[in-house]
Structure 1
Amino acid sequence: MKTLKKQGGFTLVEIAIVLVIVGLLLAGVLKGQELIESSRAKNLGKDMDAIAAGMISYTDRFKRTPGDDGPIGTLTARGGAWATVTAAGNNDGILTITQANTFAAGGETVGFFQHLKAAGFITGNPADAGVAALPRSAYNGLISVGPGVTGMTGISVCASQIPGKAARALDTMLDDGVTNSGNFRATLGAVGANTAPGVAVLAATGYIDTNIYTVCKTM
């Protein structure tokens, strides 16, 4: 007589249990990624607000505008971290920065960040010059200041290389959620490029998740 061997394998119940576990793990991973993205957007919003607050505090303390403050001798004479500052403005009361040089470290951009760092209002090395003087965001883009998106008034703080989801979240959190209105506006950018702010994206288009934006908020 032949002896029948019991065939090994998984039962339907065991397979179902495994699939449930895999599903729970995938859901946890996706939820974790969502929380990380939300945290990055909130951190950028805080960084932008910190720069705006730093400008107000600087003006209150020195009665001058960071970046426009000068001449250089007046700055370095303050001692301490000020001794490493290399950029100064003409002290005419106007922060001279154009849209084109917002992320190109032109005009009084470098001085703006050197002065805030030297005064202790934002973190960083006051000796950093050129593009290196500009803070980086959690999205590996640059943060800078300037006139902002076309149609905005006053000085704005801007950030480049922002994914569509994050741009939408920031606009909703800080303003009205519309790309071309209010105190927070967006310009269409490109992957890996620090696109200067320009004409706002049409409101009818809205934010698209797969797009990259330069966003600006009035200070």
Structure 2
Amino acid sequence: MPRKQDGYTLIEIAIVLIIIGLLLGGVLKGQELITQAKIRNIINDLNGVTTAIQTYQDRYRALPGDDPAAAGRWQDSGGNTLTTVATNPGDGRFDGAYGDNTAGAPGAAQETLLFWQHLRLAGFIPGPASGPGSGNPPANAAGGLTGIQTRGMGFNGNIVCLSNLPDKVAIAVDGALDDGNALIGQIRAKHQTGPSPIEDPVSNTAPGTTDAYVETGNNQYLLCKSL
């Protein structure tokens, strides 16, 4: 007499497939929620820098980092006089590059470093206002840097730049705040081909030409917005 073979019924297989589908749907939905949260937070990062600059200008009649009166207005936590803006103070431009930090900046008086210290001293952004790291740019919502500089990406004026943005996030932010075109407009982008947060951490070279968006799921972009 032939032996009966055990196996799954069609109903059991259908139930397993439904469970797998629900699990996959939950994972994909969770990833999409994370992406949407990053998009909102990056937009908030950009708007927050713009608002902080405008508020500082309204109060002190100068750009943070380029403020010639800052050293006479504040002292560090030890009561010492702050570093004075050394290069063209009050000219409305930022000397340095968006990725400058206390370890890699050309000089202690880089305006791109003093920018963050002045905003912290004024109480407009959180972080240490004196000592090591007081001028370092903050991290953005994508884990890269938020920095400022003058010129780059085809802009001649002051810009705010955010690094390490996933392609989907960069495209969505550009589309929400500008024209969705990485090559033109008030928001432009450059494909990051090197490690984060900046491609050249030694010389902190300014972002140059722009690159069109290519959504692969793996690309990262440096996004810069005109101030």
Q: Common fold, TM-score beyond 0.5?
A: yes
For the structure 1 residues 19 and 84, does the alpha-carbon distance in structure 2 shift closer, same or farther, using more than 3 Å as the test? Answer: farther
Question: 2: distance between equivalents of 1:123 and 1:74?
Answer: 22
Q: Does 1:147 pair with 2:150? A: yes
Question: 2: distance between equivalents of 1:29 and 1:84?
Answer: 53
Provide the aligned length of Structure 1 versus Structure 2: 210
Equivalent in the alignment of 2:203? none
Q: CA RMSD in A?
A: 2.7
For the structure 1 residues 84 and 34, does the alpha-carbon distance in structure 2 shift closer, same or farther, using more than 3 Å as the test? Answer: farther
Q: Do the aligned residues in 2 keep the contact of 1:163 with 1:212 (CA within 8 Å)?
A: yes
Percent of residue pairs bearing the same amino acid type: 35
Question: 2: distance between equivalents of 1:120 and 1:102?
Answer: 21
Question: TM-score, structure 1 length as denominator?
Answer: 0.83
Q: Does 1:95 pair with 2:103? A: no
Structure 1 range deviating more: 102-111 or 60-69? 102-111
Equivalent AA in structure 2 for residue 169 of structure 1: A
CA drift at 1:148: 4.8
Q: Does 1:50 pair with 2:57? A: no
Unaligned runs of 5+ in 2: 200-205
For the structure 1 residues 185 and 169, does the alpha-carbon distance in structure 2 shift closer, same or farther, using more than 3 Å as the test? Answer: same
For the structure 1 residues 85 and 136, does the alpha-carbon distance in structure 2 shift closer, same or farther, using more than 3 Å as the test? Answer: farther
More helix by share: 1
1:198 to 199, 208, 226: 208
Q: For 2:26, what is the secondary structure of its paired residue?
A: helix
For the structure 1 residues 186 and 73, does the alpha-carbon distance in structure 2 shift closer, same or farther, using more than 3 Å as the test? Answer: closer
CA drift at 1:139: 2.0
For the structure 1 residues 177 and 84, does the alpha-carbon distance in structure 2 shift closer, same or farther, using more than 3 Å as the test? Answer: farther
Question: 1: distance between equivalents of 2:192 and 2:57?
Answer: 32
Question: 1: distance between equivalents of 2:152 and 2:46?
Answer: 15
Equivalent in the alignment of 1:38? 36
Question: 1: distance between equivalents of 2:124 and 2:194?
Answer: 31
